[in-house]
C-alpha cells in the first residue's frame, strides 16, 4: 500500500495560504534486543518529533507513521510483549484505559462517523511489527475508501503527521 501525502490539502481546503511540506522526524536507531517502539519511546527526542501523544505509567499512545486515515494512532505497553496474555493486570487495565482516552481524542479532533479499534496479534494476523503489541484506533467516515485505495493500492493523506499530532495532542483528555 502506497501513501500519497497531500498534507497541504487540509490547509488549502480550509482556506489557508500554505506551501506543501514534508514532516521531518529524527532517525531512530534500534539497538539489538530492542523493538522499534521501545527505541522511539526511549529515544530522548521530544514527543512531537517521535509522534508520541500520551505517556501513562506503563502504556503510551503514538501516531501511526503509515496511517490508514488521518488520526490513526496506536496505544501500546511500554514493555514489549507480543500477546495480550503476556500483559500483567496493571498493564492490561492501563492499555484499555489508553484506548478509551484515544477514542475520546479521535472523536473530539475528527468527529468521525465511526472508529476502528483493533490489534493484529502475530504476523499471521497481519501485524507489521509483531514483537510489540499495539492497539490501533482510527477514525472512519462513510465512503472513506475510494478508487485510489481500491484500484491503485494507494491512500491519499490530506493532513501531515505534524498537523495530526497537533490536533490529537490538543484533543487528548486530561487524566
Which position among 22, 72, 132, 134 bears the catalytic label? 134
Whether CATH 3.30.428.10 fits 2-18+54-170: yes
d(CA 136, CA 128): 12
Domain definitions of the chain by residue range: 2-18+54-170
Q: For the segment 64-117, what is each residue's pLDDT rounded down to a tens digit?
A: 988 888 999 999 999 999 999 999 999 999 999 999 999 999 999 999 999 999
Whole-number percent of the chain with pLDDT over 90: 63
Instruction: Point out which residues pair with 92 in neighbouring strands.
Output: none
Tell me, yes or no, if 134 is annotated catalytic: yes
Amino acid at each position: 500500500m502506497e501513501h500519497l501525502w497531500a498534507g497541504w490539502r487540509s490547509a488549502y481546503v480550509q482556506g489557508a495560504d500554505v506551501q506543501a511540506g514534508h514532516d521531518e522526524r529524527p532517525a531512530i536507531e534500534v539497538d539489538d534486543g530492542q523493538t522499534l517502539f521501545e527505541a522511539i519511546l526511549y529515544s530522548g527526542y521530544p514527543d512531537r518529533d517521535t509522534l508520541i501523544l500520551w505517556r501513562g505509567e506503563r502504556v503510551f499512545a503514538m501516531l501511526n507513521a503509515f496511517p490508514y486515515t488521518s488520526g490513526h494512532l496506536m496505544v501500546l505497553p511500554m514493555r514489549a510483549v507480543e500477546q495480550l496474555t503476556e500483559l500483567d493486570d496493571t498493564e492490561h487495565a492501563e492499555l484499555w484505559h489508553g484506548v478509551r482516552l484515544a477514542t475520546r481524542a479521535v472523536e473530539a479532533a475528527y468527529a468521525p462517523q465511526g472508529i476502528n479499534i483493533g490489534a493484529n496479534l502475530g504476523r499471521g494476523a497481519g501485524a507489521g511489527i509483531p514483537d510489540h503489541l499495539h492497539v490501533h484506533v482510527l477514525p472512519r467516515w462513510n465512503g472513506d475508501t475510494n478508487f485510489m485505495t481500491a484500484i491503485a493500492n494507494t491512500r491519499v493523506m490530506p493532513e501531515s503527521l505534524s498537523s495530526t499530532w497537533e490536533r490529537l495532542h490538543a484533543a487528548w483528555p486530561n487524566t
